[in-house]
Amino acid sequence: MNWIGRAILFILSTITILACEREFVFRGGEEGLTFSTDTIMFDTIFTSIGSTTKNFRVYNPYPEDMSIESIELAGGEESGFRLNINGYSENHLEEIQIRANDSLYIFVEVTIDPIGSNKPFVVTDSIYFRTKDRMQTVQLVAYGQDVVILKEQILKSQTLTNEKPYLIYDYVLVDTTESVSIDPGARLYFYKDASLLVLGTLEVNGSVEEPVLFAGHRQEEWYMDKPGQWGYIHLLPGSGPSKFNNCIIKNGMMGILADSVGINSEPITINNTVIEHISTFGLLAQTSNIEVSNSVFGDCGKNSAALTVGGSYTFDHCTFANYFDWTFRSAPAVFLNNYFLDKNNEAQIIPLKKANFNNCIIYGNNRSELGFDIEYTEDIPMDTDAKYQFQSSIIKASEDLDMSDETKFKNIFRNVDPNFKNINEYNYQLDTLSPAKDTIANLELAKPFPTDILGNNRLEDEGPDLGAYERIEKK
């Protein structure tokens, strides 16, 4: 076939294809389009920070192919909302074709400008859909919140207030010899991988009614229990005796990392605190001095509390409840260690001077939630290298862990399920039939902690309960 013949064949083929193409001449009827939702709602969005992407579907309910006259964002280019219409990043598109009984996707994002307000505010817009006989709308609603942005900032002595949330990029550092206090109800949100570093002293002064929050910056509901959204709080070597009172630390790669802090001075104190939804360690302590009470160490990808390279630690009325299920977890909820390996792979022992757990619950979904990695020096008493005691507590432990020494394990209820209210909702309060109620805890050990993490009195009923929560029966 010569070139003329081939050209004629190509033209005829093209005409045939075009004749078979859908014409999309139908412009819709009185019923209009249908939608998967009539409103797209965004939870609190920090100003200047883009939202996650939401989507909905637009349906052609007719048995004919149709063309939508236009889809447009009412606010136009001045709007904080942005559209992607069936793959086109446009806020206004015309002659959008949908086949019979088919649909298309519209994706929506929003970025909100600051307005100088301490309180949340509402931003709205609409998407218009024009067909031959109808104009329809889908509403867009976002809640905005102005924030104080801190990025790679060195903090001198000051107070962080609860007037506006703080959004932290990269890191903030409490400088050497400086003291930063945090007011009740303050909220510190961290961008991806951002951390709070402490060379001076940090005083977190939350209350039962207004705890201080450390969390990832995403506010959408889907992110509320997702681990690994930001870095951690790092108490660096030589830092002061930081205090954590009534706070929530969640969604980080770690909760608190304490590195050689307080061993020759006042201890770090952690009281009435929840650390949960953490991708690795809830509390990772290395050669530090820490006192903890009325605190909850929830789901963590590794240890809820790892006390390593020696140190001195006390935990009173704490709940270690590790049911982490985002990835496989082999590490126990509580782990004790007293050495490190030097460059020659030799064990260098740093004495575990004290690790006391009183009236605690150590439980989770692993076969054993208590682990040890202890080295001992020859010819000296074992308690010199590692001194620890678990008293009046529920502990989940495998049978190969010897707990017969009453100087180390006293009044222990082994592998007795504490019956938390709802582990799927991370509610580690005690159910009404919990065996951790009333009769197990040591009263004398409880007296220095007369109220629980919620402010309930634990000394007024038949007896104090184990863990951070006192069960209050309804009358």
pLDDT tens digit string along 197-227?
999 999 999 999 999 999 999 888 889 999 9
- How far is the C-alpha of 459 from the C-alpha of 451, rounded, in Å? 8
The SS3 call for residue 162 is coil
If you compute the radius of gyration of the chain from its CA atoms, what whole number of angstroms results? 30
Q: For residue range 253-270, list pLDDT tens digits in order.
A: 999 999 999 888 899 999
User: In which band, very low, low, confident or very high, does the pLDDT at 19 lie, cut at 50, 70 and 90?
Assistant: very low
- How far is the C-alpha of 41 from the C-alpha of 69, rounded, in Å? 26
Q: Give the pair of three-digit tokens for residue 439.
A: 């009769």
Q: Which residue type occupies 321?
A: A
The pLDDT assigned to 21 comes to 53
- How far is the C-alpha of 414 from the C-alpha of 433, rounded, in Å? 17
CB-based contacts of 369, cutoff 8 Å, min separation 6: 320, 322, 332, 333, 334, 362, 363, 395, 396, 397
The pLDDT assigned to 16 comes to 45
**Is residue 164 scored above 90 in pLDDT?**
yes
Helix count and strand count (H, E) for the chain: 3, 37
Reduced 3-state DSSP string for 255-312: CEEEECCCCCCCCEEEECCEEECECCCCEEEEEEEEEEECCEECCECCCCEEEEEEEE
Phi, psi of 161 (to 5 degrees): -95, 180
Q: For residue range 192-201, list pLDDT tens digits in order.
A: 999 999 999 9
Domain with CATH 2.160.20 in the chain: 148-446
Work out the mean pLDDT of the chain and round it to a whole number.
Answer: 92
pTM: 0.86
- List C-alpha distances in Å: 279 to 87, 194, 254, 435: 35, 15, 7, 30
Give the strand pairing for 274-276 and 135-145: unpaired
Return the CATH class of domain 148-446.
mainly beta
**Is residue 27 scored above 80 in pLDDT?**
no
- List C-alpha distances in Å: 114 to 120, 145, 213: 11, 8, 22
The arithmetic mean of pLDDT across residues 400-427, rounded, is 95
The SS3 call for residue 51 is coil
The arithmetic mean of pLDDT across residues 432-451, rounded, is 92
Domain with CATH 2.60.40.2310 in the chain: 34-144
Phi, psi of 77 (to 5 degrees): -70, -15
Q: What is the largest CA-CA distance in the chain?
A: 105
- How far is the C-alpha of 164 from the C-alpha of 339, rounded, in Å? 44
**Is residue 357 scored above 60 in pLDDT?**
yes
Give the CATH fold of the 34-144 domain.
Immunoglobulin-like (2.60.40)
